[in-house]
Amino acid sequence: MSLSIGIHDLSLATGEFVLPHTALAAHNGADIGKYHVGIGQESMSVTAADEDIVTLAATAAAPLIARHGSDRIRTLILATESSIDQAKAAGVYVHSLIGLPSATRVVELKQACYGATAALQFAVGLVRRDPAQQVLVIASDVSRYDLDSPGEATQGAAAVAMLVGVNPALVRIEDPSGVFTADVMDFWRPNYRDTALVDGQESVGAYLQAVEGTWKDYTEQGGRTLEEFAAFCYHQPFTKMAHKAHRHLLNYCGRDTDPTAVTAALGHTTAYNRVIGNSYTASLYLALAALLDQADDLTGQNIGFLSYGSGSVAEFFAGTVVAGYQDHLRTAAHREAITRRTEVDYAGYRALHEHRLPADGGDHATPAQTTGPYRLAGISGHKRLYTTR
């Protein structure tokens, strides 16, 4: 009998501040329906000056260590497209902040918004090779676009940490996967830019092409039928994209695309992304968190996962929700992470958006803004300095 391997625990974190889309609409002179209805977004998380992918990742991961300890964790994989260093993995800072053993391998993965799914699949492989170990997978990103650009309304920030091991308490990850890669320029960020570039129309088309490609490969690999899935989690650059993607999948499979059926299939998966915004690698797993936290009872049900990363790489895979999963959820903590955010006005958001760490190699403290457990205290000699509260 094959090993049962999957997500044993899951925890999320997001930024200190939140900008309602009503404030963005007022600044742009736009009808709020453009955001609430058009892209399906209500607000977006904004990071404090002393927050980044490391502090978000550590905040998401710390509750997992508190509950399970770190004795079995042999690997930490951090997936991000908001990397803070071209050489040193951001996960090494996290390793230190949350007190993991020195006998741990740490690596950073990158492929746009797909990276966390690669990390999850690599983790499953490591556990299959050595069932005694657990792997800590963290997706952490801060989504940034130029001010007054079309992508501005889809910004966000979050981290999701997952503990992967045998006999998981939440979701068992199944074989096979359907995978797809195409060389397209729909979204990218050259090394000399700190905000991303995006071709919106190209990106939607590339995403839908990937939906077809992954599903075709998934079925050819002997995967489940469409009717076997109780819910679908999609990568959500904006929540209406999940609806568009699922309609496309249904149409591709010759099924009815009735809006009621689409909404039922997506269930509660858009709730967190709708108020957090795009969190790149974490987005798909925020969808999973929202589904698990809100659905009545998914015991034994199959969930479809569609992970898409621009450029582009995508994967479709299935997971089965484990009996007793509700006893291990962190619903209250997840809701607190969202409701604790401090609302900022447009001017406050703009100041945070334009904040940059000095690049002169001097000693610079960062403003003490976050109330979270970890903060980026400053920079000295081009070295980032983190502290624990």
Mean pLDDT of 34-51: 98
pLDDT confidence of residue 191: 94
Cβ-based neighbours of 184, under 8 Å, separated by 6 or more: 202, 206, 310, 311, 312
What sign does the dihedral 193-360-373-387 (CA atoms) show? positive
Cβ-based neighbours of 69, under 8 Å, separated by 6 or more: none
The pair of three-digit structure tokens given for residue 166, joined into one six-digit string: 């045998």
144 — pLDDT class (breaks 50, 70, 90): very high
Q: Is 233 a catalytic residue?
A: no
Burial label, 158 (beta-carbon count in 10 A; 0-12, 13-18, 19+) = buried
Q: CA–CA separation, 303 vs 37, rounded Å?
A: 26
pTM: 0.98
pLDDT in tens, 156-187: 999 999 999 999 999 999 999 999 999 999 99
Determine contact, residues 11/158, Cβ cutoff 8 Å: no
Mean pLDDT of 323-343: 98
Neighbour-count burial for 3-15, b at 16+ CB within 10 Å, e otherwise:
eebbbbbbbbbbb
Q: Is 152 a catalytic residue?
A: no
pLDDT confidence of residue 2: 82
- 1 pLDDT more than 80: no
Determine contact, residues 233/287, Cβ cutoff 8 Å: yes
The pair of three-digit structure tokens given for residue 320, joined into one six-digit string: 């089965």
Which structural domain range is residue 204 located in? Answer: 5-388
Catalytic residue among 21, 235, 243, 248: 235
The mean predicted confidence, pLDDT, of the chain is 97
* SS3 assignment for 317-357: EEEEECCCHHHHCCHHHHHHHHHCCEECCHHHHHHHHHCCC
Cβ-based neighbours of 260, under 8 Å, separated by 6 or more: none
pLDDT in tens, 192-238: 999 999 898 899 999 999 999 999 999 999 999 999 999 999 999 99
Question: Residues of the chain with pLDDT > 70: what percent?
Answer: 100
Mean pLDDT of 80-98: 98
Q: What letter does residue 174 receive in the DSSP assignment?
A: P
Determine contact, residues 219/253, Cβ cutoff 8 Å: no
pLDDT in tens, 245-300: 999 999 999 998 989 989 999 989 999 999 999 999 999 999 999 999 999 999 99
Of 179, 204, 53, nearest in space to 118 by CA:
179
Mean pLDDT of 56-78: 98
329 — pLDDT class (breaks 50, 70, 90): very high
Q: Where are the beta strands (DSSP E) in the chain?
A: 5-14, 17-20, 43-46, 73-79, 105-109, 134-143, 156-166, 171-173, 178-181, 187-188, 197-198, 229-234, 302-309, 313-321, 342-343, 364-365, 374-380, 383-388
Catalytic residue among 8, 16, 113, 243: 113
User: For the chain, what is the domain count?
Assistant: 1
Catalytic residue among 16, 51, 81, 152: 81
Cβ-based neighbours of 227, under 8 Å, separated by 6 or more: none
Q: Is 253 a catalytic residue?
A: no
pLDDT confidence of residue 200: 83
Q: Tell me, what CATH number does 309's domain have? A: 3.40.47.10
